[in-house]
Amino acid sequence: MNEKLIEQEYSFLKDEIFLNVSSVVMPPLRVQNAYRNFMDDYVSNYGDDVVSKSWGIVNQTRKVVSQLIHCDSSEIGFVKNTCEGVSILAFGFPFEKGDNVIVIDQEHQANLFPWIHVHQQKGIDLHVVKSHDGNIFIEDIINQMDDHTRIVAISAIQFSTGFYMDLKELGNICHQKNILFMVDGIQALGRMHIDVQEMHIDYMASGTNKGLLGTLGAGFVYCSKKWIEKITPLYASYQSVINHVSPPAITTNFDFIEWHTDARRFESGNLSYNCILALQKGIELILELGIENIESKIISLEKYLRNKIKNVSLKVVEFKNEKNYGGIVCVYYPINYENSVKEVLKKYKIHCTMRGGYIRLGINFYNTFEQMEQVSKAIHEMDCLG
């Protein structure tokens, strides 16, 4: 791991301990600069050719995304967030009467509400798999499968627990049964090594504002070539179709739309070009550091922290198998101590998710073992509040 490069990109953090990647991104300097420069260039050039130039950014970003997740760049389409990406699949898939989709009870709403919505609107059945103290067992998912199961929709890492699903095993099962395997990747991408080919992932949706080091307002979908032309997009504009004419000519064919045969069919209207540029720069840093190196460091830090706090009386969400560690540690505290817990976090300069009687610590490559020592001290201090 190139620690010198990390220090260059994150020197602005100083002695703050940022452990909130599961909620919001902390963009490196190269991303911050690219985002600002986009607007500066836009204004200084009076907007001349901004759209045509921006599509160059989009196409280059397709390449780095495909390099990160091991797919073809034609299988990448850009959206505004995870929910939009999931909704494209939910409402574009050719469901028939009696079909069902399998979801997990602890899914984030971005990967749950679209399926409830399509259940209400189209009458598909939802098979809900129950988790057990944060653990998700593949056997429970298999038991919900039948001859009418069309999609299994699951997060790579669960947002509320940090449970990292064995995507390779589950993807292989779906592949054998010809069930579309859909993954919400936002908590894992950029932090864990996701290989869509090896894991048999057919469709993945993700915002770019967490481990991918981008910013709010952009996301992408990966759709395998096997499924692209079977999914009818939600929206249509000239970017998503083949049969369009360039102004000032006007449309003369009002009978049908001829969609792009690749993932561009899921893009409509102008995109968040500045956010896509931010994503490009974020992934370039991830690739430079090495995603395998990043994952290894994150898991090492997680194991170290878990070992340090294993004897506290506070509830720490644990998993039966270390293979399900995803770089997130969740700790519950008595809700009546909320103000005191805030003071402890402030004292140790820890930035994390805090809500509803629990704190969520999202670890990334810029964190250190020294920081985990400080976090351990803070949690032990919280443990003594009662």
Reported as a single tens digit per residue, the pLDDT across 17-55 is 999 999 999 999 999 999 999 999 989 989 888 888 999
What is the percent of the chain where pLDDT is above 90? 90
| pLDDT for the residue 158 | 96
Q: State the DSSP code for 130.
A: P
Helix (H) / strand (E) containing 88:
helix 82-92
Quick check: 304 and 168 in contact, CB under 8 A? Answer: no
Q: What is the pTM of this model?
A: 0.95
- pLDDT band (50, 70, 90) for residue 266: very high
- pLDDT band (50, 70, 90) for residue 254: confident
Residue with tokens 């499968």: 145
Q: What gap in Å lies between CA 19 and CA 367, rounded to an integer? A: 8
- For the record, the structure tokens of 56 come out as 């160059």
Instruction: Please report the DSSP string for 41-59 in residue order.
Output: HHHHTTTTTHHHHHHHHHH
Burial class (CB in 10 A: 0-12, 13-18, 19+), 22: buried
Q: Which CATH number applies to 3-26+291-383: 3.40.1440.60, 1.10.3430.10, 3.90.1150.10, 3.40.50.150?
A: 3.90.1150.10
Quick check: 352 and 19 in contact, CB under 8 A? Answer: yes
Q: What gap in Å lies between CA 60 and CA 73, rounded to an integer? A: 9
Q: What gap in Å lies between CA 249 and CA 246, rounded to an integer? A: 6
Taking each helix axis as running N to C, give the angle between helix 82-92 and helix 113-122, from 0 to 180 degrees, rounded to the nearest 10: 20
CA distances to 3, 151, 229 from 65, in Å: 23, 24, 21
Domain ranges of the chain: 3-26+291-383, 30-287
| Stretch 299-318: mean pLDDT | 97
| pLDDT for the residue 247 | 78
| pLDDT for the residue 47 | 87
Dump pLDDT digits (tens) for 97-152: 999 999 999 999 999 999 999 999 999 999 999 999 999 999 999 999 999 999 99
Q: Among 277, 279, 282, which residue's Cα sits nearest to residue 54?
A: 277
Instruction: Please report the DSSP string for 316-348 in residue order.
Output: E---S-GGGB-SEEEEE--GGGHHHHHHHHHHT
Dump pLDDT digits (tens) for 270-288: 999 999 999 999 999 999 9
Is the per-residue pLDDT at 386 higher than 80? no
Asked: is 30-287 a CATH 3.40.640.10 domain? The reply is yes
Q: What is the SS3 assignment for 212?
A: coil
| Stretch 166-181: mean pLDDT | 98
Beta bridge partner(s), residue 288? none
| Stretch 173-179: mean pLDDT | 97
Radius of gyration over every alpha carbon of the chain, rounded to an integer in angstroms:
22
- pLDDT band (50, 70, 90) for residue 246: confident
Helix (H) / strand (E) containing 207:
strand 203-207
Is the per-residue pLDDT at 378 higher than 90? yes
Mean pLDDT taken over the chain: 95
Q: What gap in Å lies between CA 2 and CA 293, rounded to an integer? A: 9
Quick check: 166 and 138 in contact, CB under 8 A? Answer: yes
- For the record, the structure tokens of 277 come out as 């540029």
